[in-house]
Amino acid sequence: MAKFDRKLLGILVKQGVVDESDREDILEEAPETNCSVTEYLLNTGRATEEQIISAVSVELNLPPIDLAKCRVADDVLELIPADIARHYTVFPITKVGKLLTIAIADPMDILIQDDINIVTGCELALVVSTDVAIRNACDRWYGDGEDTSSADSIDDLDEPYPGDWDGKKRDATLRGPRRRRPPLTEDEMAPAKGLAWYLVEDGVIDQAGADGALDYHRRFDVTFKDALTMRHKVKESDYIVTLVRSVGTRTGVTYVDLLEERIDHEAVKELRAGFCAARKVAPLSLNGDVLTVAMSDPLDPKIEQSLRRQTRRSIVYRVSRDQHIAERIRMSYGKTDVSPIWLCKDDGLNLTDELYGTKVVEREPKREDVPREPGAETRKRYALVVGIDYADDVHRQQGFGRLAYAQSDALQIAERLSSPPYGFEVLPLVGRDATLDAILDVFKNNQLRADVPPMREEDQFLIFFAGCGEAVRAEGETSYVLHPYNGAPGMTDGSISMELLGRLLQGARYTTVRAGQCMCVLDACRPVGARGDRTEGCELDRESARDMEAVVGSGLEHRTVQVLFGCDFGQRSWEDATLRHGVLAHHLLEALRDPPEGMTFLHLVRRLTTLMEGWEHPERPGTRQKPRLFWDNTEREIALL
């Protein structure tokens, strides 16, 4: 929120609501009173809510709204869970077709929009309100969060979800406020924590990723599986295999292939369609007093509690794939739909064979078996090549260390990529042209320039960045950022964080290019900071690269993303005056020379790695640099020729 407060104050100063001379005082005083800037301005009478909304609305060209005048329909309210609305300071207003209109306090944070896009599966139209007004609206429409004594979930309120197949919706104005779901307790978290340990042991996810998913599961109305698969890109098949092989052996949870099971209509009568769709549960069989159900996440305590309120039968749990459960619910109940945004992609792996068969299914497809990719004949290649030397006065004032070769490296890489046999359509952004907006525009517009066709699913997209990058600690978290021309050392604001870059390459619909194959080459650990030794770079640490690791691999859309960092963990990227290049760029230019037929991006990286093995820092004996590739080895390789 501190970042947003700074941006908001900038707008208010620009629009004349707040004096420039008061800006720093407000930024200092507001946190001392434990208030957001908006709350502080309202409490001290320095600005009215009307002035704040109007200023942001006019500055950002977004419509204003007075949330006190809105009456929100139930089905719209249900699109964004209360905790998520409060966390991101957004509030749903109306939905028509696939478009959801939301009020938002920080319209400048596209990551918020991305997350809401993921949660709702809707395109978003933004209107402006304040964090104070949105919190009030959340309290009014979701409940103030204090009454958690009884019902705590949508199925407990006995409402259909998400359609109206088994009853009429009640108008939101006719019922009391929705009760807020409390965070999970330590006891309720225990099953997920147990599984997390096995997932880390199996190498499915690293500890930081597991901790992040656990935290998301604890705080929001999201199952541990959804937190793992949606936010950390864990494959559903990996989740199920680890679950059944570890926790399942103790709890008796087994995998069931629903496509092989007949429908037991007596079991179907035991559970309501809306409940099944909302909780991803499919009734399987009823034997005497024992109801067997297939679930997406049999460890989720909330689902178990809800199930026990739905039926008095003894329950046997089995786990299955999301897609199979959704199909089973449709077959059992007819028109019922499970929100597709929360359905994991089916990777086609035969989990019955994997878990119970004598033959272990090979996960990685053999190269020779890979069929020719669809669309390869009409494929086009696009590249965004960025290089910044940070050599202007503004950079000296900000404390950037000047680079010698980043811009010239970028231009040479651009020339090489645009030449035969590669034939990339290239947009070079060099020096002062390489602003944050110019870079983001390529992603937002899904095209390099207005005169270049938009990218299609069969196309390839490559981004090369030569410049400063560093690990910045802000708001308790470390994030590795790339600094565009108008970035600032030590600031995440105005820079491209790994989380943002990950989403730009493989995020939801709001921030991503459409090309089905994306390559990212980051020669970004070059020096930051003029005060120290100019040749000192910034080490790439594991924490910094975590977000990028998380987004590589299977994502929301079928897309291959491979990311190449200029150096390995604990290393730095260097410029070499004897080579008159950045080390990575020099060897990349070499590796791109005389490519063998059928060269893939992976081949290129291997060539590059071999070439760089021979490099040693001319003034620092023993100092080397080795590129690091992030990729998912089950994905198709990216053919460069």
User: Whole-number minimum distance, CB 171 to other proteins, in Å?
Assistant: 10
Contact between 66 and other proteins per CB under 8 A: yes
Quote the least distance from Cβ 12 to other proteins, whole Å. Answer: 12
Task: For the CB of residue 62, give the shortest distance to other proteins in the complex, in Å.
Answer: 7
Residue whose entry in the numeric block shows the structure tokens 């807020």: 180
- The SS3 assignment for 615 reads coil
Q: Residue 249 is encoded by which pair of tokens?
A: 């052996």
Contact of 489 with 474, CB cutoff 8 Å: no
By beta-carbon proximity to other proteins, the closer residue of 307 and 455 is 455
Per-residue CA distances from 581 to 49, 413, 520, 593 (Å)? 53, 11, 19, 16
Q: Is 127 in the site for other proteins (CB under 8 A)?
A: yes
Size, binding site for other proteins by CB under 8 A: 36
Per-residue exposure over 421-443, b if at least 16 CB sit within 10 Å of its own CB, e if not:
ebebbbbbbbbeebbbebbbbbb
- Judged by CB under 8 A, the stretch of 69-77, 491-499, 542-550, 581-589 that binds other proteins is 69-77
By CB under 8 A, tell whether 164 contacts other proteins.
no
> What SS3 state is found at 519?
strand
CB of 113 to other proteins, least distance (A): 10
Q: Which stretch binds other proteins (CB under 8 A): 5-13, 51-59, 263-271, 460-468?
A: 51-59
123 touching other proteins, by CB under 8 A: yes
Write down the least CB distance from residue 412 to other proteins, Å: 31
If one asks whether residue 65 binds other proteins (CB under 8 A), the answer comes out as yes
Q: Closest distance between other proteins and the C-beta of residue 108, in Å?
A: 16
Tell me the one-letter amino acid at 472. V
Q: Which of 23, 95, 193, 380 binds other proteins (CB under 8 A)?
A: 95
Q: Is 296 in the site for other proteins (CB under 8 A)?
A: no
Q: Is 460 helix (H, G, I), strand (E, B) or coil?
A: strand
Options 2, 27, 39, 64; binder of other proteins; rule CB under 8 A? 64
* Choice between 77 and 410, CB closer to other proteins: 77
Site string for other proteins, 319-358 (x = CB under 8 A): ----------------------------------------
* Minimum distance of other proteins from residue 79's CB (angstroms): 14
Distance in angstroms (rounded) separating the CA atoms of residues 609 and 588: 9
Structure tokens at 602: 């992976």
Q: Does 520 bind other proteins (CB under 8 A)?
A: no
Shortest Cβ 481–other proteins spacing (Å): 24
Query: By the 8 A CB rule, do 243 and 195 touch?
Result: yes
Taking CB under 8 A as the rule, does residue 97 contact other proteins? yes
Calculate the alpha carbon distances from 520 to 272, 470, 601, 629 in Å.
Answer: 47, 17, 10, 10
In this chain, which of 19, 43, 44, 99 binds other proteins, going by CB under 8 A?
99
Q: What is the 3-state secondary structure (H, E, C) of 311-377?
A: CCCEEEEEECCHHHHHHHHHHHHCCCCCCHHHCCCCCCCCHHHHHHCCCCCCCCCCHHHCCCCCCHH
Stretch that binds other proteins, among 31-39, 96-104, 421-429, 577-585 (CB under 8 A): 96-104
Q: Is 71 in the site for other proteins (CB under 8 A)?
A: yes
Q: How many CB atoms lie under 10 A from the CB of residue 186?
A: 8
Determine if 70 is a binding residue for other proteins (CB under 8 A). Answer: yes
Candidate list 21, 34, 45, 69; residue touching other proteins; CB under 8 A: 69
User: Considering the rule CB under 8 A, would residue 101 count as an interface residue with other proteins?
Assistant: yes
Binding region for other proteins (CB under 8 A) out of 48-56, 369-377, 588-596, 608-616? 48-56
* Contacts with 619 (C-beta within 8 Å, 6 or more apart), sequence order: 535
Q: Which is nearer to other proteins, 454 or 618 (CB)?
A: 454
Question: What distance in Å separates the CA atoms of residue 574 and residue 620, rounded to the nearest whole number?
Answer: 11
Least Å distance, CB 458 to other proteins, is: 19
Would you count residue 509 as binding other proteins (CB under 8 A)?
yes
- Residue 21 is encoded by which pair of tokens? 């001379």
Is residue 301 left, alpha or beta, with left meaning phi > 0 and alpha meaning psi from -120 to 50? Answer: alpha
CA torsion 427-428-429-430 (nearest 10°) is -170
62 near other proteins, rule: CB under 8 A: yes
Longest Cα pair distance anywhere in the chain, in angstroms?
A: 81
**Binding of residue 510 to other proteins (CB under 8 A):** yes
From residue 444 to residue 483, what is the string marking binding to other proteins with x (rule CB under 8 A)? xxx-------x-----------------------------
The label of the residue with tokens 């811009």 reads: 407
Q: Report the nearest approach of other proteins to the CB of residue 52 (Å).
A: 9
Least distance (Å) from other proteins to the CB of residue 117?
Answer: 9
> 47-51 long-range CB contacts below 8 Å, 24 or more apart?
47/12, 47/17, 47/18, 49/130, 49/132, 49/133, 51/12, 51/17
Q: Note whether 262 binds other proteins by CB under 8 A.
A: no
Burial 352-389 (b: 16+ CB within 10 A, else e): eebeeeeeeeeeeeeeeeeeebeeeeebbbbbbbbbbb
Beta carbon of residue 54, minimum distance to other proteins (angstroms, whole number): 2
User: Least distance to other proteins from the beta carbon of 550, Å?
Assistant: 23
Residue ranges binding other proteins (CB under 8 A): 50-51, 53-55, 57-58, 61-66, 69-73, 93-99, 101, 123, 125-127, 444-446, 454, 509-510
